[in-house]
Chains A and B, each alone.
Chain A
Amino acid sequence: MVRPLHPKERQVYSRRAFLTRAAAAGVALPSMAAILAACGSGAQSGVATSGGATGGGENAYGTGGIAGAAYPLARPEAPVTWTVDEANLIASDLPPEENATVKMLRWPYYFAPAVIKSFEKKYNCTVEQTEFSDMDKGLAKINTGQGDFDLLVGMNVWALGRSIAAKLLRPVNLDYIPNLAANCWDSFQSPFYDVGSHYSVPYSVWSTGIFWRNDMVTQDIAAMANPYDIFWDGAPVDKTHLLANAQDVLSMSMFRDGLTDVNVTDADTINAAKDAITQVARATNAKFDHVDYTDVPKGQAYLHQSWSGNVSDAFVFLAEGDQAENLSYLWPVESGVPGNVDNDTFVLLNTGKAPVLAHLLLNHILDATNAMTNFASWTGYQMPQKTMTRDALVGSGLVPDHLANTYIVEADMDRGSRELELPATADALWQSAFLELQAGV
């Protein structure tokens, strides 16, 4: 039986109850019944679990996946084939738009100007770039319909389903993008989150691991049975930083406990992870940020949970006289414990006015030479290209040998765990837990 609470009853809520109800209040507003359900009997009723709900997500948006949202949620064991929006799919063999402007929305510092310039020259067009600072803001930007953007660079896999369901994305006509089949890893020809690559092509891949200054952290992290333990035992006070997003930071505790599927929806597991990370935060006065690539080389942090793409070129930020040998990175999977591996994507947008050029731009970027130029001269994030092997990248002198593990190989995509889109209520629980972490309560 659900019922609204008397105001006096609210005074005796525990912090945990606040967490659960914060999540519920955040997501359930469209429906008063849902709010009352959350207030009265917990937010978790009716939320599908990550495992065991396979096949429950078939609907008008696509087939496969698991249940938990209005559209199927993709999982490696439950791939999703999205229904193609034929009305917005362009025909093959169309000529590129003339003297057109291609409008690109992208993360900051995520694309090499040289690659763009060569495209502009080749097709006599202009590429106009607009930045977004995080995925949610990028989604908000395209959702307003303003800007007539043609493509978005760096859409996270977790944002793909909701963008397709909201009819923001234009289907991809692969006839214009032969470089996908020619140059990209086989595992990205038809990925589980977009079987047949109907709406996306891959951009970059990375692992999430531990980045530290080996001249300041005395423990041999790589030799530890569970390298995550360093954050709980011996992490430097005032010099430990964690990634500033809910899934990465909370997953770390889950990985430490041996979970391989961290896309959990039950409040207890999420709360336990939050409590564990709170321990780290309190013991070390940890900071949450995404600037590991400057924090560690500059000595603002000695230990940082990090993305490999940020580590691979961090040595360029070292102070004069400092040495790249002082920087170390470990993907805990190398030590036999679970860890995250991920990728993001290029997507085309329905608002675009130059869809042919947008397709051709994707193909241009996936060209092996351009991909290497983009990586070597700009992003530090590796693309899943057949020619971009670890040996080739290290051999080119782009990173020191001892940081070769910042590059991942195709097989790593199967060794690591993915952080994927969650049902709305579970997502709210994760985000709420992260808000609490940040608030230090």
Chain B
Amino acid sequence: MPATVFLLVFFVFPFFVVLAVAFGGVSDILREPVPAWNPLAWNPAVVTFTISNISHADGLYHSAFLRTFLYVGSATLLCLVIGYPFAYFLARHAGRWRGLFIGLFFAPFWISYMLRMLAWISLLEDDGLINSILLRMGVLNTPYPWLAGKPVTLIIGLVYGYVPFMVLPLFATLDRIHPSILEAGHDLGASPAQTFWRVTFPESKQGILAGLVICALPMFGDYFTQQLLAAGSGTRMIGNAIVDSLAIPIFVPQGAALILVLLALLIVPIVYYLWSTQRAAGQVRAA
């Protein structure tokens, strides 16, 4: 019963509101959205229009969707590249310092996301620390405008913001691999590298999948990182398109339609993750 109430209050009702707005109208005088609460009165014009603006190469949201997949894909992979070695180190080599390392790694994340991004602004300013170091090292001749709508800055911001979501499931998975399995690999003559690729890595696949899904899902809806670190037309993501639409009353239904499309797309990896988790659990039970 509590789970049902939770689901109704925090998912079903808000989702219905989004549907009612997406399929609703706009008031004549204030030009504000008017939700259509009766599904029989829903008008699909804006939703179909929004979808065509995504699918058409010249559509308003087409580029933002492509960019979002590119940036989220790149940032998620970078999170994996950074997060896996760290999680592996924590699980295998940190020993009694494990708690300290975990604490140090997560300490910045006790601070709010906005403050951490503001800190990055300070670091990336023309006269910020990063440019100062690069200039001193002779890598740059003039300060690089990191904050002037650069994709690289956006990806850095996304990686920094979401890498803990990769480390946690990876650490949990790697830590659960029983040392006897690794010892068996060694005993059978495998080198450390072979043991990693043939034992550790396959055993951590569920953690990788969980990390990828948990990292990527919130990134798809992220708009704040772009606004703070990389604002510019060339870096706008679908989250920004949603926020832009919601900021203009007459386009709120289009913003709601974008939310529906994004949700429909994100259901695919969620379902795959759930299916994969259940299958893995089934295999464990069978063994």
Contact = CB atoms under 8 A, between A and B. Distances in A.
Q: Do A and B bind each other?
A: yes
B147 A30 contact: no
Contacts of B254: 22, 25-26
B247 interface: yes
A70 B28 contact: yes
B43 A29 contact: yes
Interface string B131-155: 0000000000000010111000000
Given A10-B56, A18-B60, A439-B241, A30 B27 contact: yes
A71 interface: yes
Contacts of A21: 49
Interface in B16-46: 24-32, 34, 43, 45-46
Nearest to B55: A11
A29 B24 contact: yes
Contacts of A288: 231, 233
Interface string A47-88: 000000000000000000000011100000000000000000
Nearest to B26: A29
B246 to A, nearest CB: 10
A439 B61 contact: yes
Contact of A136 (B56, B240, B249): B249
Interface residues of A, dominant DSSP: helix
Given A29-B46, A427-B31, A441 B148 contact: no
B250 A26 contact: yes
Nearest to B252: A26
Interface string B53-68: 1001011111110000
Contacts of B27: 30
A18 B231 contact: no
B58 A13 contact: yes
A26 to B, nearest CB: 4
Contacts, number: 146
Given A18-B59, A438-B233, A26 B148 contact: no
B195 interface: no
Nearest to A25: B49
B34 A30 contact: yes
A440 B244 CA distance: 13
A29 B21 CA distance: 11
Contacts of A435: 60, 244-245, 248, 251
B58 A14 contact: yes
Interface in A415-441: 424, 427-428, 431-432, 435-441
B52 interface: yes
A241 B57 CA distance: 27
Interface string A16-47: 00110110011111101001000000000000
Given A70-B29, A162-B29, A439-B233, A22 B53 contact: yes
Contacts of B46: 25-26, 29
Contacts of A440: 63, 232-234, 236
Contacts of B244: 435, 438-439
B42 to A, nearest CB: 11
A267 to B, nearest CB: 15
B203 interface: no
A11 B233 contact: no
B125 interface: yes
B126 interface: yes
Contacts of B127: 299, 319
Contacts of B249: 136, 139-140
Contact of B232 (A29, A71, A285): A285
Nearest to B45: A35
A162 B49 CA distance: 27
Interface string A284-321: 01111100000000111000000000000000000100
Given A32-B43, A438-B233, A440-B233, A136 B59 contact: no
A431 B56 contact: no
B248 A431 contact: yes
Nearest to A284: B148
Contact of A439 (B28, B63, B125, B247): B63
Nearest to B64: A439
A259 interface: no
Contacts of B125: 298, 300
A143 interface: yes
Nearest to A434: B248
A203 B56 CA distance: 46
B148 A239 contact: yes
Interface in B198-246: 231-234, 236, 240-241, 244-245
A18 B56 contact: yes
B164 interface: no
A430 to B, nearest CB: 10
A125 interface: no
B248 A136 contact: yes
B253 interface: yes
Contacts of B241: 439
A440 to B, nearest CB: 3
A298 B46 CA distance: 42
B236 A439 contact: yes
Contacts of B49: 21-22, 25
Interface string A209-253: 000000000000000000000000000001100000000000000
Nearest to A30: B25
A383 to B, nearest CB: 28
Contact of A25 (B24, B30, B45, B58): B45
Contact of B231 (A14, A166, A289, A436): A289
A15 interface: yes
Contacts of B32: 139-140, 143
Given A26-B250, A439-B241, A71 B126 contact: no
Given A26-B253, A139-B249, A166-B29, 5 more contacts: A14-B58, A162-B31, A428-B250, A431-B251, A432-B251
19 contacts: A26-B46, A26-B251, A27-B250, A29-B24, A30-B34, A32-B43, A35-B43, A35-B45, A70-B29, A139-B249, A166-B29, A238-B149, A282-B233, A285-B148, A285-B234, A424-B31, A424-B250, A427-B31, A439-B63
Interface of A: 7, 10-11, 13-15, 18-19, 21-22, 25-30, 32, 35, 69-71, 134, 136-137, 139-140, 143, 162-163, 165-166, 238-239, 281-282, 285-289, 298-300, 319, 424, 427-428, 431-432, 435-441
Give 9 closest A-B pairs by Cβ, nearest first.
Answer: A440-B233, A29-B25, A238-B148, A15-B58, A238-B145, A26-B250, A30-B25, A10-B52, A25-B49
